[in-house]
Chains A and B, each alone.
Chain A
Amino acid sequence: MRVGVGLPTTLPSMGGAAVIEWARRADSGPFSSLGVLDRLVYDSYDPLISLAAAAAVTARVRLATTIIISPLHVTARLAKEAASVDALSGGRLVLGVAVGARADDYAAAGVDYHTRGRRFVEQLATLRNYWEDPSYGPAPAQPGGPPLLVGGLSDGSFARLARYADGYVHGGGPPKAFARAADKARAAWADAERPGHPQLWAQGYFAFGPAAGGGADYLRDYYAFTGPFADKIAAGLLTTPQALAGFLRGYAEAGCDELILFPTVADLGQLDSLTAILAALGVTAQGVLGEEPA
């Protein structure tokens, strides 16, 4: 399992320069990827534009959307933007997509919320066509386009993963919840007779030190739309090296390929703390505990 870190693009008060500096430091840290989240009606940066900026100041890390709410986007334009980030970054983009669950984002984008599933399927069926079509250049740097990940927890999500995508991106939770989703992803993959295995990506939230309380407050705010689950998500915040170590071990044992840790406190010091703790745990950019990358 490899470990990535989230860019602080959804933390209000994080200035542009600090986001860029975060990306630069992450590139020299024990991280294999930089992740971004997507939200329209929120004080946050655009995910693909942020990754384009990060691409310019990094040389190594993969750049991942986990996830982008793709039905909010015009498909051809999304395909072009993703191809652009992939080409500009030398083939480092991983495009995670899902329908999301935020009706306000759909209303703001003028996209019908109730037919989002159908729109999502059409997008999955056509994204790769745009990447292969020279009239929609640039050609992505990765042959066939960036790896495509699908998120979501419904039976349909796993069917879509197996039918259209290269892997699955889990939304967060304890390792047990990930393990269940991973089994579903593998079951769907085997049923579709796809070669090899699905890439399995996941994410968690961290806040270290005295600022941890602020991290929980942020999660309750960011996930307020989920109602009572916001408290559960906040309760899962990783605030100690011990909690982080247990979390990493649980995900690695469940067969996670890449786990992205998202910050919840707008402070570059949080990245430095995470870097130090991961170093102490033996995590390098190549993976957990000297493990070979898959």
Chain B
Amino acid sequence: MSGPHRIAILGGGPAGLYCGLLLKKADPTREVTILERNPPTVTYGWGVVFSDRTLDSFQRADPRSYEQIINRFVIWDAIDVRYRGTTIHCGGHIIASIASRDLLGILQQRCAELGVTLRFGTMVDDPAALADCDLLIAADGIHSTVRQAQEAVFEPQITLGKAHYIWLGAERVLDAFTFIFHDTPHGLFQVHAYPFSGTTSTFIVECADHVWRAAGLDRADEAASLAFCQELLATDLGGVALQSNNSKWIQFPSLTTKTWHATLGLGPPVVLLGDAAHTAHFSIGSGTKLAMEDAIALAAALDAQPDVVTALAAYETERRPVVELFQRAAAESRSYFETLYRYVNLPPVPFAFHLLTRSGRITYDDLRLRDPHFGALVDSTYSGVSSARVVPPPLLTPLHLRERTLLNRVALPARPTCPAHDGLPPAAWTAAFTAQAAAGAGLIVTPISAVTSDGRITPDDAGIWSNAQAVAWEHITAAVHAAGPARLLLQVGHAGRRGATRPRAGGLDRPLPTGTWPLIAASALPYTPQSQVPQALDRAGMDTIRAAFVRAAEQADKAGFDVLQIHAAHGYLLAGFLSPLTNQRADEYGGNLANRLRFPLEIVIAVRAIWPFDKPLAVALSVTDGVRGGTVEDAVTVARALREAGCDLITVQAGQTTPAGEAPYGRGFLTPLAARIRNEAGIATLVGGYLTTANEVNTVLAAGRADLCLMEPVDNWH
């Protein structure tokens, strides 16, 4: 075998030990020394979890330690969510864990067996003391002295999580990975608990900073913290005492480093392993797994590559993308648990479903497959239909909005291809609507129809400002209503500064070369550098616009629409008032959020006053501008005000406030925004964002992220 001969490993945790034994096994002539500051039996952790895939790699790397590890495993297949006094049980998730102490013991013994030199109780404050070797492996954890001695080279970045947590244990055997939630007078506490031996389980207690301070835990010592958690978990522990293991409240340090290896001056090449190079939030249970996989990759690279420096580069090239993937997932998971308080109004079953599908990688179909009983519970809870009958999935559950019932939770867009003339929807549009009714839509959504002639986006747009237009629309609504139970939503809007553009075949917001008309907006700012400069709306103009929306609502009712949606998204006239990017007014309609909301709210109130009481009213809202501007928090405030004004449904949109606004496009990209509006503002949401499958829709609905989904017809692209 080639490669370095004398190898020093700093840190006798799982990564260091595993790397040491693999290197020594590959070439017994190597001198491998592991230096650990603690005695052999000291560990700060309680238990470690591993997935099937990780175990496969352990089996290939060293069958002997693999056998010993799996012999010590506790394996379970359920996740329990204890919330508001009930326990929701979901099976089919294979998870295995082992006590940290057992894992270390196995690896230490295996190292000794292979002839690795283990030096416990050895403090190394200056890594230069280890210069006498061919390779220095730093497996000395998040506070790596090797890395800290060379910060300029490794460029570590540590960000602390917002939540505080403490790692405890108890002699109580749980039969599932258990999430426990306790809403205390101080705020929400959440606990991640799992068994790791035949007698013991880990309990990680976590809470937000303000909750931690309110509970006085910022001033609590180890004993006081333990006593607090003991009382918090009294019902869960059944009288068993919680144990501390040098446990302290900490904020999770997320670490990234610019590089994982370096050659420094005359010293040996240095490489970082595991937590010394990167960390991933404990809630995805991957820290030890990543560290041990690092060890496998490094040992393999040192044997496969011609020289040490090439091997270290190959190790980083192989591992970095994998680690970054887990770090992204961990960051999402961390952020999920940090903001879980937003969802405490969900009932237990959707709350548990929301928790289980938090990563976006586990769906409704996955959970049904893993645990049919849980699937049945989700369906029956959602539909309210008892299990004695055929229980529809969430997607086929009717939705009641005021006196209108949508047969199911699928909204389909009607996208007629031929132009309207003078705002009159031509008879040829009918087919585009009846086709969506035949496709089974619960709700059919029209293109945006203008409330005035000058409010059109393009000359091809339909309108709803004249009697003739109402009559033309009525032909379409009559055909749809005759065809079946589908309901029709008319979107009404005013283009504002995005008006008088060409049809969108050649792109968005291209001004009309001829036949243009004057534009109005909240402020006199053109949408693009090529756009016409709009005139800032004065109070008389606002009265005209408000009257136009009211008239449009009257016409829409006459025309037979079931739901009316006021478009206040995507940078059109009303959205232009809401966003600080586009509203620079100095009067009572500009400035703070209450002022920016004033005119759009005035329109919603005026429309609600004449729109029949039994018919639902919706508002389309850009929940974020996608660039620095209006925030989700603002949108939650707006949605609350709209709800109080009699709005029944928020259609969630994002961006297009300015041409620079961009969203993280992809399947379901609007779903997280819909979830926030629904759960924080307490109003039903309709969400699109490129959902094409029933599974995606069921997952969104069952988790309480939205009430209605706009599905994108896949024949749109094939």
Q: Does B415 contact A (CB under 8 A)?
A: yes
A272 within 8 A of B: no
Instruction: Give which listed residue, B505, B665, B689, B716, contacts A159 with CB less than 8 A.
Output: B665
Partner of B665, one of A132, A144, A188: A188
Asked whether any CB of chain B lies closer than 8 Å to the CB of A186, the reply is yes
Q: Are B506 and A184 in contact (CB under 8 A)?
A: no
Q: Within the assembled complex, what's the spacing in Å between the Cα atoms of A18 and B688?
A: 51
- Which residues in B have their C-beta under 8 angstroms from that of A198? 717
Give the distance in Å from the alpha carbon of A196 to the alpha carbon of B664 in the complex. Answer: 21
- Minimal Cβ-Cβ distance residue in B for A132: B513
Most chain B CB neighbours (cut-off 10 Å) among A125, A190, A193, A195: A190
Known: A125-B529, A163-B508, A190-B690. A183 touches B663 (CB 8 A): no
Min CB distance A173 to B, Å, is: 13
Decide: B665 and A191 in contact? CB cutoff 8 A: yes
Identify which of A159, A180, A231, A255 gathers the most chain B CB atoms within 10 Å of its CB.
A159
Task: Give A198 to B507 CA distance when docked, in angstroms.
Answer: 11
Q: What A residues does B313 contact at CB under 8 A?
A: 228
Assess the A195–B505 pair: CB atoms within 8 A: yes
A121 to B661, CA, bound (A): 13
- Interface residue? A165 (CB, 8 A): yes
A45: Cβ under 8 A from any B Cβ: no
B718 pairs with A158, CB closer than 8 A? no
In this assembly, does A60 line the interface, its C-beta being within 8 Å of a C-beta of chain B?
no
B695 at the interface (CB under 8 A from A): no
A-facing mask of B684-718, CB < 8 A → 1, else 0? 00001110000000000000000000001000111
Residues of chain B from 434 to 484 with CB closer than 8 A to chain A in the complex: 447
Partner of B528, one of A125, A228, A231: A125
B474-527 interface with A by 8 A CB criterion: 503-510, 513
Is B659 interfacial (CB-CB < 8 Å)? yes
Given contacts A186-B690, A190-B688, A192-B504, contact A255 B717 (CB under 8 A): yes
Residues of B within 8 A of A126 (CB): 530
B377 to chain A, nearest CB (A): 31
CB under 8 Å from chain B, chain A span 116-169: 121, 125-126, 128-129, 132, 144, 155-156, 158-159, 162-166
Q: 1/0 contact trace for B663-682 toward A, CB 8 Å? A: 11111010000000000000
8 Å CB interface, B649-665 against A: 653, 655-656, 659, 661-665
B516 to chain A, nearest CB (A): 15
B317 in the interface (beta carbon within 8 A): yes
Q: Which residues of A contact B417 (CB under 8 A)?
A: 195
Asked if B317 contacts A194 (CB within 8 A), the reply is no
Task: Name the B residues within 8 Å of A125 (CB-CB).
Answer: 528-530
Chain A residue at minimal CB-CB distance from B528: A125
Q: How far is the CB of B496 from chain A (nearest CB, A)?
A: 16
The smallest beta-carbon distance between B502 and chain A, in angstroms, is: 10
Decide if A187 touches B690 in the complex (CB within 8 Å).
yes
- Is the CB–CB distance between A183 and B690 below 8 Å? yes
**CB-defined contacts of A197 to chain B, threshold 8 Å:** 716-717
Which residue of A163, A191, A192, A228 is within 8 Å of B317 (Cβ)?
Answer: A228
A-side contacts of B653, CB under 8 Å: 191
A188 surroundings in chain B (CB, below 8 A): 663, 665
Contact B510 A159 (CB under 8 A): no
Task: Report the count of interface residues on B (CB-CB < 8 A).
Answer: 37
Q: A156-B662, A163-B659 are in contact. Are A193 and B717 (CB under 8 A)?
A: no
* Residue numbers in A under 8 Å from B510 (CB-CB): 128
Q: Which residues on the B side are within 8 Å of A128 (C-beta)?
A: 506-507, 510
Partner of B716 from A155, A183, A190 at Cβ < 8 Å? A190
A88 to B: closest C-beta gap in Å: 23
Considering the chains assembled together, what is the distance between the CA atoms of A228 and B313 in angstroms?
9
Chain A residues with CB under 8 Å of B712's CB are 186, 190
Q: Looking across the interface, which residue of chain A has its beta carbon closest to that of B509?
A: A163
Q: Across the two chains, which residue of chain B brings its CB closest to A294?
A: B718
On chain A, the residues within 8 Å of B689 by CB distance are 187, 191
User: Within the assembled complex, what's the spacing in Å between the Cα atoms of A128 and B510?
Assistant: 10
> Known: A128-B510, A163-B659, A191-B689. Contact between A255 and B718, CB under 8 A?
yes
Total contacting residues, chain A, CB less than 8 A: 35
CB distance from B444 to the nearest CB of A (A): 16
How many Å lie between the Cα of A192 and that of B510 in the bound state? 13
Among B447, B661, B666, B669, the residue within 8 A (CB) of A180 is B666
Contact with B667, one of A187, A193, A228 (Cβ below 8 angstroms): A187
Complexed CA–CA distance, A125 and B510 (Å): 8
> In the complex, A183→B415 CA distance in Å?
20
Nearest-Cβ distance from residue A90 to partner chain B, whole angstroms: 21
| B contact residues around A195 at 8 Å (CB) | 415, 417, 503-505
Q: How far is the CB of A77 from chain B (nearest CB, A)?
A: 20
Complex partner residue of A155 from B506, B528, B665, CB under 8 angstroms? B665
Instruction: Pick the contact of B504: A121, A156, A187, A193 (CB < 8 A).
Output: A193
Contact B504 A183 (CB under 8 A): no
User: In the complex, are the beta carbons of A187 and B666 less than 8 A apart?
Assistant: yes
Q: How far is the CA of A273 from the CA of B439 in the complex (A)?
A: 47
**Taking the nearest CB of chain B, how far is it from the CB of A252, in angstroms?**
10
Complex-state Cα separation, A110 to B87, whole angstroms: 65
Q: Which of A46-96 contact B (CB under 8 A)?
A: none
Q: Chain A residues with Cβ under 8 A from B529's Cβ? A: 125
- A183 neighbours in B (Cβ, 8 Å): 666-667, 690
Convert B152-176 into 0s and 1s, putting 1 for each residue whose CB lies closer than 8 angstroms to a CB of A: 0000000000000000000000000
Q: Which residue of A lies closest to B529 (CB)?
A: A125
Task: Write the nearest CB–CB distance from A247 to chain B, whole angstroms.
Answer: 19
B665 to chain A, nearest CB (A): 4
**For residue B690, which residue of chain A has the nearest CB?**
A187
User: Contact check: which of A132, A165, A191 meets B507 at CB < 8 Å?
Assistant: A165
Bound form: Cα–Cα A42–B492 in Å? 54
CA distance A195 to B688 in the complex (A): 17
Query: Within 8 Å CB of B503, what residues of A?
Result: 195
- In the assembled complex, the Cα of A100 lies from the Cα of B447 at a distance in Å of 37
Q: Which of A187, A194, A196, A198 has most chain B Cβ within 10 Å?
A: A187
Residues of A within 8 A of B663 (CB): 155, 159, 188, 191
In the complex, what's the smallest C-beta–C-beta distance from A189 to chain B, in angstroms? Answer: 9
A170 to chain B, nearest CB (A): 14
Bound Cα distance A109, B508 (Å): 30
Tell which of A156, A196, A255 has the most Cβ of chain B within 10 Å. A196
A128 to B718, alpha carbons, bound, how many Å? 27
Task: Specify the chain A residue showing the minimal Cβ separation from B688.
Answer: A190
Report chain B residues within 8 Å CB of A156. Answer: 662
Nearest A residue to B670 via CB reads A191
Chain A nearest CB from B447 CB (Å) reads: 8
**Measured between alpha carbons, how far is A149 from B447 in the docked complex, in Å?**
26
Q: With A155-B665, A159-B662 in contact, is A192–B508 under 8 Å at CB? A: yes
**A155–B662 contact, CB under 8 A?**
yes
Which residues of the partner chain A approach B317 to less than 8 Å between Cβ atoms?
228, 231
* Per-position binary interface string of chain A over residues 205-232, scored 1 when its CB falls under 8 Å from any chain B CB and 0 otherwise: 0000000000000000000000010010
Residue of A nearest to B667 (CB): A183
Considering the chains assembled together, what is the distance between the CA atoms of A56 and B529 in angstroms?
39
B207 CB to closest chain A CB (Å) equals: 33
Q: Complex Cα distance A165/B663, Å?
A: 17
Which residues of the other chain, B, contact A228 by a CB distance below 8 angstroms? 313, 316-317
Note all chain B residues with C-beta closer than 8 A to A194: 504-505, 507-508
Cβ contacts under 8 Å, B717 to chain A = 186, 197-198, 255
Instruction: Report the Cα distance A156→B689, complex, angstroms.
Output: 16
Other than the given A125-B529, A187-B667, A198-B717, 6 more pairs (CB < 8 A) read A128-B506, A159-B662, A188-B665, A190-B688, A191-B663, A192-B508
Can you name 30 A-B pairs with beta carbons within 8 Å? A121-B659, A125-B530, A128-B506, A144-B506, A155-B665, A156-B662, A159-B663, A159-B665, A163-B507, A163-B659, A183-B690, A184-B665, A184-B666, A186-B690, A187-B689, A190-B690, A190-B712, A191-B653, A191-B655, A191-B665, A192-B508, A193-B447, A194-B507, A194-B508, A195-B415, A195-B417, A196-B505, A197-B717, A228-B316, A228-B317
Name the 5 nearest CB pairs between A and B, nearest first: A187-B690, A159-B662, A228-B317, A197-B717, A188-B665
